[in-house]
Structure 1
Amino acid sequence: MKTIAIWGVASGLGATMAEYFHNHGFKVIGIARNPDKNARLAELGIQTISCDATVQHEVQAAVESLPTGSWVVSTMGSFRADVPVDYIGHRYLIDALESRGISRFLLVTSLGCGESWQYLSDGAKAAFGAAVREKSLAEAWLKSSKLDFTILRPGGLKDGAATGQAQLSQGTEVHGLINRIDVADLTRQLLERINSIGQTYQCVDPSLTY
């Protein structure tokens, strides 16, 4: 049974990821500052680790407890937090994974990161541009690491059943929405593809409307 460690499982996309991978036969280790916020983890019997990713020694301890062959996914993010986790938390995580010898890592950021910043509207930049810039720094740190990484930038996240219509793309301007469960499915597909290593993808679902 493959082990996958998912950071940010207390809510949102990370919570969806944890349940998705559990249902697909993976041994899931869920990591969050307060995993007890997600009662579903205990119901499913998912192992959890409490970790404040803005505290370096906590990140190092959490990573040390993972099997070396684990896949690692991070959905961590913080909107207007006093100490945003988006960059520093991922910097600590990436460094700890390198030291531990755990190489396969998929980072979930968002549309607008990196070179796609130019495609964000002025309104979006004003509303959540600071978080996007933090995530862009995390991407840059990851790209200069030794990890076998993949970066996934989803559009606006929604709850809902899988549509099977979500699309991956690279290097083009895209806008749109995507259900969290479809992001989880694309994450699994990308982790299973050797040719996704070192690549950055966007994903939206053209069947969804605002």
Structure 2
Amino acid sequence: MENILVAGANGTTGKKIVDILNKSQHYNPIAMVRKEDQQAYFTDQNIQTVLGDLEADVNPVFTSPIDRVIFAAGSAGKNVIGVDQEGAKKLIDASKKANIKKFVMLSSMGADKPEEATQLQDYLKAKHNADEYLKNSGLSYSIVRPGTLTNDSQLEMIELEQKLNKHGEISRADVAQTLVQSLEDKTAANATFEIIKGDTSIQKALHKVS
């Protein structure tokens, strides 16, 4: 069993990621949360937690052995530089020191060209900078850029391209599943891609960038 650190575990998508990992036969989730009162949700399910604040020193998070990382954290627009950009960079640096095998980043459609966005430009700039930092880190990575997130049911069917050139929606459940499937070494290795709801299975779609 490999230990997977999930940054942003307490978020809506983060909880779905942790749940998928917890049911897996290959992975053991470690939920990274910012506050002590967020730990009970996970410890009640016998899921390991670790306290870590992306606005502070994150190196202590790696006191326990970590094999791979999923970054699904976000500030919900409250501190896009401190969390979405610099917090991601800190975790990338700490992951490198810890010799993790792969770093899977939850990004956003539009992060490739934030200057062209009519909305959320500051957020997309922050995501762009974090993505570029990861690409240049020397870590093995996958960068997943979904369209508009919904709370719809899981379909396990997506449309995937390095650049889709169209907008669309996708459920958080399918994004979570895509992130988890991207953890494997040979899946979407050092690839950046966009996803929306579609008619191809996640596993098959990921072969496009593997």
**Shorter-chain TM band:** 0.7 to 0.9
Q: What TM-score comes out, normalization by structure 2 length? A: 0.85
The verdict on how the C-alpha distance between 1:81 and 1:3 changes in structure 2, with shifts beyond 3 A counting, is same
Deviation (angstroms), 1:116: 6.7
Amino acid at match of 2:174: D
The verdict on how the C-alpha distance between 1:101 and 1:51 changes in structure 2, with shifts beyond 3 A counting, is same
Percentage identity across aligned positions? 26
Deviation (angstroms), 1:192: 2.2
- Residue 78 (structure 2) aligned to one of 81, 84, 98: 81
Amino acid at match of 1:154: P
Deviation (angstroms), 1:39: 4.7
The verdict on how the C-alpha distance between 1:117 and 1:186 changes in structure 2, with shifts beyond 3 A counting, is farther
SS in structure 2 opposite 1:110? coil
Residues 125-146 of structure 1 show CA distances to partners (whole Å, capped at 9, x for unaligned) of 2xx2211111111011111111
The verdict on how the C-alpha distance between 1:181 and 1:142 changes in structure 2, with shifts beyond 3 A counting, is same
Aligned pairs for 1:132-143 within 5 A: 132-143=124-135
Q: Which residue of structure 2 lines up, in the alignment, with residue 99 of structure 1? A: 97
Residues 14-69 of structure 1 show CA distances to partners (whole Å, capped at 9, x for unaligned) of 111111111223211000212633753123211111111111x2x01102x2425x
Q: Which residue of structure 2 lines up, in the alignment, with residue 42 of structure 1? A: 43
* Aligned-partner Cα distance in 2 for 1:206–1:195: 19
- Is 1:185 equivalent to 2:177 in the alignment? yes
More deviation, 167-176/106-115: 167-176
- Is 1:60 equivalent to 2:52 in the alignment? no
* Conserved? CA contact 1:176–1:206, under 8 Å: no
Deviation (angstroms), 1:188: 2.4
Alignment gaps of 5+ in structure 2: 200-210
* Aligned-partner Cα distance in 2 for 1:131–1:169: 22
Deviation (angstroms), 1:4: 1.1
Q: Which residue of structure 2 lines up, in the alignment, with residue 157 of structure 1? A: 149
Amino acid at match of 1:5: L
* Conserved? CA contact 1:111–1:202, under 8 Å: yes
Amino acid at match of 1:158: T
Coordinate RMSD, CA, aligned: 2.0
* Aligned-partner Cα distance in 1 for 2:150–2:36: 21
Residues 158-209 of structure 1 show CA distances to partners (whole Å, capped at 9, x for unaligned) of 22321122222112313111111111211222222515111101111047xx
Aligned pairs for 1:25-40 within 5 A: 25=25, 26-34=27-35, 36-37=37-38, 39-40=40-41
SS in structure 2 opposite 1:166? strand
* Conserved? CA contact 1:35–1:48, under 8 Å: no
Alignment gaps of 5+ in structure 1: none
More deviation, 85-94/170-179: 170-179
* Aligned-partner Cα distance in 2 for 1:52–1:181: 25
* Conserved? CA contact 2:6–2:70, under 8 Å: yes
* Aligned-partner Cα distance in 2 for 1:178–1:18: 19
Structure 1 outlier segments of 4+, above 4 Å: none
